[in-house]
Every structure is written in structure tokens, then in C-alpha cells.
Structure 1
Amino acid sequence: MPDDLIRRFNPPTVAPPVARYSHGTVHALGPGVKRLVCAGQVGIAPDGRIAEGLAAQVEQAWDNLLAVLAAENLGPEHIVKLTAFVADPSPDAVNVVREVRTRKLGQHAPSSTYLVVAGLASPALKFEVEAEAVGPA
């Protein structure tokens, strides 16, 4: 697909990717409408530090996701699909993830999937969230 149809970016407010990928990929859906696909965001601060503990990682991952959206002048209200990956099957983990998600999304309720996984890209990572958003071009 030609590069003029797809734009990839890495906002300076999010730690650079650790492999060959982009934090955000944008393409047009139609006149005046764009789709943003956000790579999975984890609890790594812009300085590269991994947040300690599940709650801090969930908070940082959401901050990163919202920063990718903001780089395209989009917000939580533009999210149409969320997928959360959690390396902790406990009810406490579910409660932490729900609390942060509710605070970050407010009343917005996009289609969502919550997956408990055996592990993420690094054993130090406990949470990852990815999203798709649609908004004005």
C-alpha cells in the first residue's frame, strides 16, 4: 500500500518503540474521517523506566495510549475498540484495571476485550492496552 495512504508515527511523549513498529498508524476512512490504530501500550514511562507494580503499570499504559491519541487530536471519546492484556488472573487485578479504565474513559464505553495472558514481551510487564479510534481527519 502506498505510503501516502498510511502514516505511521511515534509521539515524543511516549517511550520510543523497543522493536520495529510504530505507536500509531493512521489512514483515511473517507472524506474528513480517519482511523487510528494504536500499538499495545505498556507501563513504560517516556524516560524508558518500567513502572513498578500492576496499578502503576496500568496507569502508565493508559497515559501512553491517551498520548498516542492526543498526538492525532483524538481523545477517549474516539476509541471504538479496546483490548487489554493482563498477566495476573486475580480479582484484584480486574478491579485495578477497571478502576483506571473507568477514570481514563469516563462515560465512554467502546467495544472491549479483556484477556488474561501467561506473559507479555518482558517478564517485568504486567499490563498492555491497545486501541482503535475513529475521528475527524
Structure 2
Amino acid sequence: MPTFFNPPTVHAPSPSYSHAAAHALSGRRLVISGQIGMAPDGTVPEGLEAQIAQAFDNLIAVLRAGDMDIANLVKIVTYVTVPDAIVPFRTVRQAKLGDHRCAATFLQIAALVRPELLVEIEGEAVAD
């Protein structure tokens, strides 16, 4: 399993992530493409929180399909297209990932591939 840490020589992270994750190279690595807020039937829910929740559901489904789970997640990169998205993101992330604190990057960008899409979350996971 990965070890998450926050070096004392770097600013303290917010409570929702760790600065780094270390893992021995003898295991498996799962690289997850960006998951958008689109349901399996192709519908896109309205609203930022609903899309964040769906994107996390998709990410978790890919983890499980790769014989891994939330505890194996070592990094996520989140892209949002709307301002002031960090608070709803943290709320949904807490509901979906609980106290798991993997390395994380959060970016606001101009647009995703379709205008109705508001969020995309990439992930990386490792297992022994």
C-alpha cells in the first residue's frame, strides 16, 4: 500500500489531500483517464455537485474494475470549468472518498470537450 506524507519543509496542505504518495515499484499501477460527470446511460446531470458526484462514481467504478479500491488511489487531478468550485468539490470528495488523503491537484480551466461538462477527474492507483 502507498505511504502518504507531508514534508515539514513544505506548507501544510488543506485537510483533503497529501503532498506526496510513495509506493514500491513491485506492484500494479492503474492509470485512470479523466472521468467526467456522465452517467453510464450517457446522460449528464445538471449542476456542479451532481457532476462531481458522478465523476467520482465513475472513478471508483474504474478502480473496482481494476481490482482496486479507494485505499489504492494515490493521486487525483481535477479540472473544473466554473469558478468557486472548490467548496462543493471538497464536500462531494469527502462523501465519496471519506478520510482517504491521496495526492491531489485542482485546476480551473476554460472548458472541457463539451460545454455542458463542468468537471473531469483523473486518477492513479497502485496495489501490491
Q: Counterpart of 1:69 in structure 2: which amino acid?
A: L
Q: What's the C-alpha RMSD, in Å, of the aligned pairs? A: 0.9
Provide structure 1 residue ranges, at least 5 long, that are not aligned to the other structure. Answer: 1-28
Q: Counterpart of 1:97 in structure 2: which amino acid?
A: F
| 1:129 and 2:121 correspond | yes
The partner residue of 1:37 within 23, 31, 35 is 31
**Residue correspondence of structure 1 range 46-61 to structure 2 within 5 A:** 46-61=40-55
Q: Which has the higher contact order (CA 8 A, sep 6+)?
A: 2
After superposing on structure 2, the runs of 4+ consecutive aligned residues of structure 1 that deviate more than 6 Å are: none
Matched residue, 1:66: 60
What does the per-residue CA deviation read over 1:71-126, in whole Å, with 9 as the maximum and x for residues that have no partner?
01211111111100011112xx2111001111111111111000000011111100
Provide structure 2 residue ranges, at least 5 long, that are not aligned to the other structure. Answer: 1-24
What does the per-residue CA deviation read over 1:42-76, in whole Å, with 9 as the maximum and x for residues that have no partner?
01100011111111100100000000000012111
Q: Which whole-Å CA distance do the structure 2 matches of 1:73 and 1:34 have between them?
A: 10
Q: Which whole-Å CA distance do the structure 2 matches of 1:82 and 1:123 have between them?
A: 22
- TM-score, normalised by the number of residues in structure 2: 0.78
Q: Counterpart of 1:95 in structure 2: which amino acid?
A: V
**Percent identity of the aligned residues?**
46
Matched residue, 1:83: 77
- TM-score, normalised by the number of residues in structure 1: 0.73
